[in-house]
A and B are shown apart, each in its own frame.
Chain A
Amino acid sequence: MREEVELAKRYLDIEQLRFGPRMQVRWNIDPEVLSLPVPPLVLQPLVENAVKHGVEPSETPAHIRISLHRHGKNYAILTVTNTQAGPSAPGLGMALANVRHRLQLLYDMDFQMEQRHKAHAFQVQLRLPFNRTPAYHCPCTS
C-alpha cells in the first residue's frame, strides 16, 4: 500500500501542475495501513477517476479526499471521494470494473467495493482483508 500511495501521489503531482488551484487534494492516512499488501494499481485508477470526473469538468476548485484506515482487526478501508460540480462526460467504466475484477480474482468474496453517488460528490470505498496476503495465481510460476 505504501507504494500505491506513493504512485498515486506522483500521479496527483502531475495533475496538480495541470489544474493548479482547481484541484484540492486531502490525504488522511493511517500509517498502519501502509504495510498492507495489496495488488498493484488498486489506488491509482480510483484517483484518476476522481480527477477525470470530479476535477476536469469543474470550473470551480474541486476536492478529492483519499482516506486509508483500519476497520476493526481484520479490514482496511480505502475511500476516494470527489466533489462533482455537474455531469461529467460518461467514461467507459473500465477503471472501476477492472479494479473490481482483479480484487475478485485475488480475494474472492473477502472484499467489498461500493460506489456511492451523493448530492454533490462521488465516492468509491474498498474494504480489503487486513491479515491476508492476496493469493497470486500466476500461471507462469505455478
Chain B
Amino acid sequence: MHILIIDDEPLARSRLRHLLGDCTPHGEHWTMSEAASASQALPPLSGPLPVDIVLLDIQMPGANGMSFAFTLQQLPAPPAIIFVTAHSHYAAQAFDVQACDYLTKPVRLERLQQALAKAKKQLPSDPGPQLAIAPWAARAGLGRRWCISRPSSKCSPSTPRRAAMCWKAAWSIWSSVTRTRAAHSPQLLGQSGLFATPGICRARGLVSPSARYCPTLASLTAAGGGSAQTFNNL
C-alpha cells in the first residue's frame, strides 16, 4: 500500500504521518510519500511504485487540491482520493471528482481509519493467480490477462507440455515472490520470463516492476515479440 500525503504545511504532513503510523494494520507494509504541493506530487505519482491512496489538502499554493484531484482522475489507474482540509465547504465539489472521503482538520484517528478502509475497498481487488503467458501459453490453453512472456525469453516452448512446465516454473517463482513480498520482485519476475503489470503488483502489495518489466504493447511489438494482434489475442 503506497500512500501519498499532499499538504503545503509541514506540521499537517507530520500529523498525518504519525496518524498513519498508528493505524497500520499488523503485518501490513505501507509506504508513505509526501509532497508540499501538487507540482511536487508528480514525481512520486509517476515513480516506480504506484500510489494507491492520496491524502490531499485543498488550499495550497499553486494548483489547489480540488483541481489536482481532477488531474488525478484522468490517470489510467487513478489512486483513491481522500481530502484532508480545514474547510468544510468543498465537500459537495469532492463528489464531482469521485473522492473517496472528506476529512476535516484536525483529523481524528478513528475517522482516518474509516476513510482508509473505504479507500481500500475502492482499489482494484487482488487478481489472484491469473497469470498468462503468451503466445505459447495461450496456445496451451493456460490463463491469460496479467503476464506475458518476454519475447526473447528462453521460456518459449514449442509444445503444450513444455508450456505447462514453463508455466509451473513461473508460477512457483511468482508464488515465492508474493510470499516473501521481496523488494526485488522485478528481478525474480524477470527470471521467470514473465512480466507483471503495475496492477498485479499493487494488488499483491509488491514493489512495482520497473518500466523494463512493464512493457507497453508497442514496445513489445517493436522488440519483435509478435504483432499487436498476437498480444491483443492474449
Interface set of A (CB-CB < 8 Å, partner B)? 17-20, 22, 56-59, 85, 89
Tell me how far the C-beta of A123 lies from the nearest C-beta in chain B, rounded to whole angstroms.
Answer: 21
- Rounded to whole angstroms, the CA-CA distance of A17 and B36 in the bound complex is 15
Which residue from A18, A20, A58 sits with its C-beta under 8 Å from B61?
A58
Contact B9 A18 (CB under 8 A): yes
Would A20 and B37 be within 8 Å (CB), given that A58-B61, A59-B61, A59-B62 are in contact?
Answer: no
Interface status of B92 (Cβ within 8 A of chain A): no
Chain A proximity mask over B191-231: 1 for CB below 8 Å, otherwise 0: 00000000000000000000000000000000000000000
Interface set of B (CB-CB < 8 Å, partner A)? 8-11, 36-37, 39, 59, 61-62
Tell me how far the C-beta of A125 lies from the nearest C-beta in chain B, rounded to whole angstroms.
Answer: 26
Interface contacts (Cβ under 8 Å), in number, total 18
Could you give 5 example pairs across A and B, Cβ below 8 Å? A17-B11, A18-B11, A20-B10, A59-B62, A85-B61
Main DSSP-derived SS at the A contact region: loop
Contact A57 B61 (CB under 8 A): yes
- Rounded to whole angstroms, the CA-CA distance of A89 and B8 in the bound complex is 16
Neighbouring A residues of B61 by C-beta, 8 Å: 56-59, 85
Tell me how far the C-beta of A10 lies from the nearest C-beta in chain B, rounded to whole angstroms.
Answer: 17
Residue on A nearest B61 in the bound complex, by CB: A59
Neighbouring B residues of A22 by C-beta, 8 Å: 8
Neighbouring A residues of B9 by C-beta, 8 Å: 18-19
Tell me how far the C-beta of B102 lies from the nearest C-beta in chain A, rounded to whole angstroms.
Answer: 19
